[in-house]
């Protein structure tokens, strides 16, 4: 079954009397367990598409379903609930709370999700260990490297055991070694936990990790190809 179904998505941004195409008739099905890379030049619509799939933005027309549920049929509360529990977001800027430790940054999200305190503590430690940050739980974001901060962001994204992770240029601020490590972590999570990944990038080294490459240009899908090893 397709985890993500996008049908005929259109999104126009209006700035004064100018109309800017964000998405132009985008249709895309992504099956559970896929690892998809969205590529394309700056302004081609990658972020707009990820935002539409994650319910962070509403297209002008077309439909998006995640896990068999149409986003436009959901109430605000249902949408917020889905974003909190079923989708993990990883952004280019790690978006960590600077005054909270790595542990607290992850635990904070679990608290919002209503996970009981005892379970939170056990799961936070497990998930931080899983992303390779055992022993760094008490550090503040400023005391971690960019790659390590992004790993905290990944830990936060997977703490709720989402079925889908949407990552928008997650390696943009990382050196190439940290970028490869992050992609290897994504591949392992995709393989071992069956989390579906949709990752946008400009970086050809990142694209090499995808099993399917979707190219966008001017808000349209211009190619959609499986990647062979
Ligand atoms: N809030 C907005 N207001 C006006 N125009 C916007 C807005 N968001 C996106 N756009 C425009 O929509 C188009 C697609 O933008 P989008 O951010 O999706 O591209 P992208 O492929 O993610 O680019 P990049 O690789 O630079 O992040 C661009 O022309 C952009 O300028």
What is the 3 state secondary structure string of 26-91?
A: EEEEEECCCEEEEECCCCCCHHHHHHHHCCCCCCCEEEEEECCEEHHHCCHHHHHHHHHHCEEEEC
Taking the centre of ligand 1 as the mean of its atom positions, its distance from the CA of residue 46, in whole angstroms, is 8
E strand spans, the chain: 2-15, 18-31, 35-39, 61-66, 69-70, 87-90, 164-168, 196-200, 212-217, 220-226
Is 18 touching ligand 1 by the criterion CB < 6 Å? Answer: no
Taking the centre of ligand 1 as the mean of its atom positions, its distance from the CA of residue 168, in whole angstroms, is 12
Tell me the backbone φ, ψ of residue 130, rounded to 5 degrees: -60, -35
In this structure, what token pair is assigned to residue 102? 């790595």
Gap between the Cα atoms of 183 and 71, Å rounded: 29
Residue 1 pLDDT: 58
Residue 162 pLDDT: 93
Q: Give me the average pLDDT of each 10-residue run along the chain (229 residues).
A: 90 94 97 96 96 96 95 93 92 92 94 91 93 96 95 93 95 91 94 95 90 97 89
- Shortest-distance atom of ligand 1 to CA 44: 21
- The residue behind tokens 């700056």 is 42
In this structure, what token pair is assigned to residue 76? 């605000």
| 85 within 8 A of 160, measured Cβ to Cβ | yes
Give the residue among 34, 28, 31, 38 at the shortest CA–CA distance from 3. 31
pTM: predicted TM-score of the whole model, two decimal places: 0.94
Gap between the Cα atoms of 88 and 157, Å rounded: 4
Residue 25 pLDDT: 97
Q: Residue 120: enclosing H or E segment and its boundaries?
A: helix 117-130
Is 44 touching ligand 1 by the criterion CB < 6 Å? Answer: yes
Is 45 touching ligand 1 by the criterion CB < 6 Å? Answer: yes
- What's the ipTM? 0.96
Which residue is closest in CA terms to ligand 1's atom 9?
22
**Helix, strand, or coil (residue 106):** helix
Q: Which residues contact 227 (CB under 8 A, 6 or more apart)?
A: 37, 207, 208, 210, 211, 212, 213
Dihedral angle, C-alpha 175, 181, 185, 187, nearest 10 °: 90
Q: Is 213 exposed, middle or buried (0-12, 13-18, 19+ CB in 10 A)?
A: middle
């Amino acid at each position: 079954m397709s985890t993500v179904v996008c049908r005929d998505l259109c999104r126009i941004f209006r700035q004064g009397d100018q109309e800017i195409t964000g998405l132009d008739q985008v249709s895309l099905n992504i099956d559970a367990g896929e690892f998809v890379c969205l590529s394309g030049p700056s302004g081609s619509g990658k972020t707009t598409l990820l935002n539409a799939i994650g319910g962070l933005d509403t297209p002008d027309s077309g439909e998006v379903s995640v896990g068999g549920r149409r986003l436009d049929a959901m109430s605000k509360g249902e949408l917020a609930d889905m974003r909190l529990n079923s989708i993990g977001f990883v952004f280019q800027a790690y978006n960590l709370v600077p005054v909270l430790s790595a542990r607290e940054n992850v635990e904070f999200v679990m608290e919002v999700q209503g996970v009981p305190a005892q379970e939170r503590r056990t799961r936070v430690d497990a998930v931080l260990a899983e992303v390779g940050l055992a022993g760094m739980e008490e550090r503040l974001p400023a005391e971690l490297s960019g790659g390590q901060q992004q790993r905290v962001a990944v830990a936060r994204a997977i703490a709720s055991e989402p079925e889908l992770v949407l990552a928008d240029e997650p390696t943009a601020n990382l050196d190439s070694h940290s970028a490869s490590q992050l992609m290897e972590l994504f591949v392992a999570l995709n393989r071992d936990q069956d989390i579906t990944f949709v990752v946008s990038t400009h970086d050809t080294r990142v694209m090499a990790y995808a099993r399917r490459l979707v190219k966008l240009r001017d808000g349209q899908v211009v190619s959609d190809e499986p990647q062979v090893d």
